[in-house]
Chains A and B, each alone.
Chain A
Amino acid sequence: MKKDYSVWSLFKKGLGHNEGWDPAWRSPEPKPSYKVIIIGAGGHGLATAYYLAKEHGVRGIAVIEKGYLGGGNTARNTTIVRSNYLWDESAMLYEHALKLWEGLTQDINYNVMFSQRGVFNLGHNLQDMRDIARRVNANNLNGIDALVLDGAEVKRRIPLIDASKSTRFPILGASFQPRAGVARHDAVAWGFARAASKYGVDIIENCEVTGMDISGGRIKGIQTVRGYIAADQVGCVAAGHSSVMAKMAGIRLPIESHPLQAFVSESLKPCLDTVVMSNAVHGYISQSDKGELVIGAGIDHYNSYSQRGSPHVIEHTAAAIIELFPMFSRVRMNRQWGGIVDTTPDACPIISKTKIKGLYFNCGWGTGGFKATPGSGNVFAHTIAHDEPHPLNRAFNLDRFSTGHLIDEHGAAGVAH
């Protein structure tokens, strides 16, 4: 239906003062029934619909969204993409995602502004450096690019960082993943929505799910504020609200929802051309293409669905950033927000079939879901299309919480855990 975006189309529409653009995706009324319904039109849900249609030839897909498209955690994260995880299972999953990121702009014909500017994970004491060496070795064995840098090299590559010996947490070195980087989060949601819409996926916004129709151990459909919709299969990608969805289906999940806060500064001239994370000082920072410093840190520890957290967490985060970059102490902050993250006991996601036939869950990404967006959608689409997990997400089954095969990624999951 719609033509691909190209240099020529930009030029031509530019001559017409950019007034002739069509909406990027259709917003149809819900049909009475679909083959597959995806609950949640965030990055992961839209990516799932896209890969279901593209790679598995499934037709009759709807993506149901409570609010507006990409208005949840997709628009509330700090856009960091990396794959330097410790354990084989998660390293393979995130590396799969990173490889998809590398070709994503061409694949979905939408500029997601994926910028591979590298990610530094700082080490501040001997144990940090030993952990970094271990993780870098594990990454290299899994074919993931990673290297250990010493303190002098970190200072050379990030001139603004305070590398003096007098700091409370001196910088001894870092792990560095050159292929990691950042992407434009809104573009990811919009691009996947447009690409999925081209395959005939119905994206239905402002349509909250209020119940699930389950009989004989099988999903039959869902109740929404816009009426009943029948479906053969339902994939639930509701992030912070996964427990609410699971309760409707009578399933218990090992998930707790927490606020995760972030903030951005006023725009500055380019001063930080990479991403810096520190587990010990407890903050992470990058600079967006607009020039804003994008800053985040840890979760608020209490359960919450309120999309706002406590001010002392922001104070703690700002203190951490100033510890690393004293010259940012007088930068003014523009916006602050909170998102609701679904954390699991092992800081790893759940991409799984459930005891109810035709009902699948993709949740528990906690504080680090954005980096996995295309990979998560890709393997979840496989899980739904084949009613069988993809080899890459077999280990991320819900039953690992009864078998005990947890994948402890608290170290590599980064700052926010």
Chain B
Amino acid sequence: MFVLTCPYCREKREEEEFSYAGEAFIARPLAPEALDDAAWGDYLFMRKNPKGWHWEMWAHATGCRKYFVVKRHTANHAIEGAWTLPEARKLFDAEGGAA
């Protein structure tokens, strides 16, 4: 069980209020028709699924219903923080975009 902080509501709430929305920052290719099948399959299906720090999206499903980003450790469930998408993007890029 996690306690997440919604960066929009600025409220600490239990995990049940939120719904998980998967790996963050999977960019939709700008020209999908230019991709081959392998690259399109990679975008659609392939995931990092790291054992360690994971940048992921959550939606505040029973609150403000907005999506935000959480950095969470998948082996021990430690949570480093929760940010809006643009804020998190900056931190993510500063890390080199690695999970």
Binds A, one of B5-13, B26-34, B48-56, B82-90: B48-56
Interface centre among A305, A306, A345 (most CB of B within 10 A): A305
Binds B, one of A16-24, A166-174, A296-304: A296-304
Contact flags A252-272 to B (C-beta < 8 A → 1, else 0): 111111000000000000000
Partner of B37, one of A244, A312, A402: A402
Is A328 among interface residues, defined by CB-CB distance under 8 A?
Answer: no
Write out the residue numbers on chain B whose beta carbons fall within 8 Å of the beta carbon of A311: 1
Write out the residue numbers on chain B whose beta carbons fall within 8 Å of the beta carbon of A84: none
Closest residue of chain A to B15 (Cβ to Cβ) is: A310
Give Cα distance in the complex from A401 to B38, angstroms: 8
Give Cα distance in the complex from A211 to B13, angstroms: 40
Write out the residue numbers on chain B whose beta carbons fall within 8 Å of the beta carbon of A390: none
- Contacts A301-B20, A305-B74, A306-B74; is A255 near B1 (CB within 8 Å)? no
Write out the residue numbers on chain B whose beta carbons fall within 8 Å of the beta carbon of A312: 1, 15-16
Closest residue of chain A to B2 (Cβ to Cβ) is: A310
Partner of A252, one of B2, B42, B56, B77: B42
Closest residue of chain A to B36 (Cβ to Cβ) is: A402
Q: Across the interface, do A256 and B74 meet the contact criterion of CB distance under 8 Å? A: no
Q: Across the interface, do B51 and A252 meet the contact criterion of CB distance under 8 Å? A: no
Is A106 among interface residues, defined by CB-CB distance under 8 A?
Answer: no
Is A403 among interface residues, defined by CB-CB distance under 8 A?
Answer: yes
Is A241 among interface residues, defined by CB-CB distance under 8 A?
Answer: yes
Give Cα distance in the complex from A401 to B15, angstroms: 32
Is A243 among interface residues, defined by CB-CB distance under 8 A?
Answer: yes
CB contact list, B46-84 vs A, under 8 A: 46-51, 54, 56, 72, 74-77
Q: Across the interface, do A305 and B51 meet the contact criterion of CB distance under 8 Å? A: yes
Give Cα distance in the complex from A306 to B74, angstroms: 7
Interface centre among B41, B54, B56 (most CB of A within 10 A): B41
Write out the residue numbers on chain B whose beta carbons fall within 8 Å of the beta carbon of A247: 50
Contact flags A390-414 to B (C-beta < 8 A → 1, else 0): 0000000000011110000000000
Give Cα distance in the complex from A304 to B23, angstroms: 12
Q: Across the interface, do A254 and B74 meet the contact criterion of CB distance under 8 Å? A: no
Partner of A402, one of B15, B20, B41, B50: B41
- Identify 8 residue pairs between A and B in the complex whose beta-carbon atoms are under 8 Å apart, listed by A's number: A243-B48, A243-B50, A252-B42, A252-B48, A254-B47, A256-B22, A304-B77, A305-B74
Closest 8 A/B residue pairs (Cβ): A402-B41, A254-B45, A243-B49, A252-B46, A301-B20, A402-B37, A401-B45, A302-B20
A contact residues vs B (CB 8 Å cutoff): 241, 243-244, 247, 252-257, 301-306, 310-312, 345, 401-404
